[in-house]
Amino acid sequence: MSVPTRSGRVTVNTLRRMKQEGEKIAVLTAYDASFAQVLDEAGMDIVLVGDSLGMVIQGRETTVPVTVDDMIYHSKAVQSQLKRSLLMVDMPFMSYTDPASALANAARLMQEGGAQMVKLEGGAPQVDTVAALARHGIPVCAHLGLMPQSIHKLGGYRVQGREQQAAAQMRDDALALQGAGADVLLLECVPEALAAELTEAVEVPVIGIGASPRCDGQVLVLQDILGITPDDAPRFSKNFLTGSDSIQAAIAAYIEAVKAVEFPAQEHTF
């Protein structure tokens, strides 16, 4: 079954309407102009220049070494080819330690890199920063659950929110970040029931990765869906190149599966 994608340039208002109308939001990462063009022409709603580039492009063990200059370089390349998709760009480790630093670095990502939305990790401690960005007209995606920039603190890549107290804190964080002006929430490696509950509790779109199919959208790393991840692909991912005759067909299959709520399946959730 072919699922049509929404026409016209995707904006923050588009994403809100999609949530209201029950249309799923398809998101993939890209780090260069060539893949950006392919994703845009396929009808991707959001293209994310993720700090995951530290691992899949630079060969690092974590995202921690990635710099603002790295993000600008790759964002500029991706932005040059986008005519439809909204461009979201990660704020890298230690680039938003306080509202003033966040404002300065987000401004660079937008002015030099072409970002249309920035993404940062963290719950309640980021409320003031999100509020400051929102006051200055900077669209924000707030990332909850497993936060790769905090991997050394977390002690590994583990599902977040299983315990009652942790789940309650995540609910409070989601509402606080929405109240501060976050335009989108992203949940990574969160139990299905909690992810579904949070999606219902907030008015802004919720994008999942290793979360519930009931989230408003899904995001994966491009290399994972093409089966070229340097290490073992995470459980929540799927190789869409298997059974497809081209990269373009694999990307189209991913979009269709998200829109039709065929991905993620039960084996991709926690």
Q: Is 32 inside any structural domain?
A: yes
Domain that holds residue 114: 13-268
Cβ within 8 Å of residue 201, ≥6 positions away: 171, 174, 175
Cβ within 8 Å of residue 247, ≥6 positions away: 38, 226, 241
Q: Is 2 inside any structural domain?
A: no
pLDDT number for residue 6: 61
Report whether pLDDT(245) > 60: yes
189 versus 7: the higher-pLDDT residue is: 189
Q: Is 188 a catalytic residue?
A: yes
Where does the pLDDT of residue 8 fall: very low under 50, low under 70, confident under 90, or very high at 90 and above? confident
Q: Is 3 inside any structural domain?
A: no
Q: Is 228 inside any structural domain?
A: yes
CATH number for 226: 3.20.20.60
pLDDT number for residue 155: 57
As a whole number, mean pLDDT of residues 107-126 equals 97
Report whether pLDDT(92) > 80: yes
Q: Is 122 inside any structural domain?
A: yes
pLDDT tens by residue, 167-191: 999 999 999 999 999 999 999 999 9
Q: Is 44 inside any structural domain?
A: yes
Report whether pLDDT(154) > 60: no
Q: Cis ω on the peptide bond leading into residue 264 (within 30° of 0)? A: yes
Question: What domain count does the chain have?
Answer: 1
pLDDT number for residue 229: 81
As a whole number, mean pLDDT of residues 140-153 equals 84
What's the number of CA atoms in the CB half-sphere (13 Å) around residue 222?
25
Q: Is 23 inside any structural domain?
A: yes
Q: Is 5 inside any structural domain?
A: no
Report whether pLDDT(4) > 90: no
Where does the pLDDT of residue 158 fall: very low under 50, low under 70, confident under 90, or very high at 90 and above? confident
- The three-class DSSP label of residue 7 is coil
pLDDT number for residue 149: 83
Report whether pLDDT(152) > 70: no
Distance CA 154, CA 174 (A): 19
Report whether pLDDT(268) > 70: yes
Q: Dump strand ranges (E) for 107-169.
A: 117-121, 140-145
Q: Which of 23, 112, 163, 188 is catalytic?
A: 188
Please provide the average confidence, as pLDDT, over all residues in the chain: 94
Where does the pLDDT of residue 156 fall: very low under 50, low under 70, confident under 90, or very high at 90 and above? low
Tell which residue, 8, 4, 56, has the closest CA to residue 28: 56
- Identity of the amino acid at 23: E
As a whole number, mean pLDDT of residues 58-84 equals 97
